[in-house]
Structure 1
């Protein structure tokens, strides 16, 4: 019915977190704030992946 949906980030998203966002977050002075920003970014990316998955697969459910 549905293609497999994983709760993983794409390679591109992992790269963005590892390089682009970490450089920007490193400017934040508080360590707890940095950790929270990284967790929040990752969750937002995962949510984006889930939304994309459901949009791509919305018509599959209507065919039954």
Structure 2
């Protein structure tokens, strides 16, 4: 896989989401933790997409 999804930060954020989902199902995490993790995951994706768009714009301008 290439592109933003292959980014180590994205993979790490996905692992945290998976782990927190399991904890939530077992009653070891609460909804506020779940929402916080989802916001962090979304933020990580947005940063990586912004970075990828910047790199693409630089290539197009060259």
Q: Flag structure 1 segments of 5+ consecutive residues without an equivalent.
A: 23-29
Higher relative contact order (CA 8 A, sep 6+): 1
Higher helix share: 2
2:56 corresponding residue in structure 1: 57
Count of equivalent residues: 48
| Residues 1-64 of structure 1 aligned to structure 2 (within 5 Å) | 5-6=3-4, 8=5, 10-13=7-10, 14=12, 18=16, 31-62=30-61
Return structure 1 stretches of 4+ with deviation > 6 angstroms.
Answer: none
RMSD: 2.8
Superposed CA offset, 1:4-45 (max 9, x none): 644x36224507x74xxx8xxxxxxx7110000000000000
Q: Structure 1-normalised TM-score?
A: 0.54
